Amino acid sequence: MDSADKAPEGEPAENVELSMEERLHALEERRRKLLKQYIKDANLTPKEAARRAGYSQPSVLYNYFSGRTTVLSKDLMRRMNKVMPGFAGAVANIDASVKAAPQFQDIGLRSVRMKMVARIGMLRAKSEIAADDQTEEPVPIDRIQRAAGAFGVWLLTPGFELVYPNNTLLVCMPVTRYQGPLCAGLRVVVERMRGARVEVSLREIAVEAARAYLLTRTASLAYQAPVSMPWPSDGTRVWKNGEDRFSIAGVVIGVYINFEFART
For residue 170, give the H/E element and its range. Answer: strand 168-174
Q: Which amino acid is at 133?
A: D
Nearest to 206 by CA among 184, 190, 176, 237: 184
Report whether 33 contacts 76 (CB < 8 A). Answer: no
Beta carbons of 166 and 157 less than 8 angstroms apart:
yes
Asked if 99 and 27 touch (Cβ cutoff 8 Å), the reply is yes
Instruction: Check pLDDT > 50 for residue 14.
Output: no
Q: Residue 102 gets which letter from DSSP?
A: G
Provide the 3-class DSSP secondary structure of residue 206: strand
**Omega into 158 within 30° of 0, i.e. cis?**
yes
Average pLDDT of the chain to the nearest whole number: 82
> What pLDDT, in 10s, does the model give residues 46-69?
999 999 999 888 888 988 888 777
Question: Could you tell me which residue, 264 or 122, shows the higher pLDDT?
Answer: 122
The upper half-sphere exposure of residue 172, i.e. CA atoms within 13 Å in the direction of its Cβ, equals 29
| pLDDT score recorded for residue 106 | 46
pTM above 0.75, yes or no: no
| ω into 102 cis (within 30 of 0) | no
Phi-psi region of 96 (alpha: psi -120 to 50; beta: other; left: phi over 0): alpha
CATH number of 109-256: 2.10.109.10
CATH architecture of the domain with range 3-104 = Orthogonal Bundle (1.10)
> What are the sequence ranges of the domains in the chain?
3-104, 109-256
The pLDDT tens digits of the residues spanning 195-251 come to 999 999 999 999 998 899 999 999 989 899 999 999 988 888 899 988 999 999 999
> Which whole number is the average pLDDT over 125-140?
85
Find out whether 50 and 61 touch, Cβ atoms under 8 Å: yes
Q: Are 113 and 134 in contact (CB under 8 A)?
A: yes
Q: How confident is the model at residue 258, as a pLDDT?
A: 55
| Cα angle for residues 73, 79, 83 (degrees, 5° grid) | 140
pLDDT single digits (tens) 71-122? 787 778 889 999 999 998 998 888 776 656 555 544 444 678 899 999 999 9
Mean pLDDT across 152-166: 91
Contacts of 139 (CB under 8 A, 6+ apart): 110, 111, 112, 152, 169, 171, 254, 256
- Cα 115 to Cα 136: distance, rounded to the nearest angstrom: 9
Q: For residues 76 and 248, give the distance between their C-alpha atoms in angstroms, rounded to a whole number.
A: 20
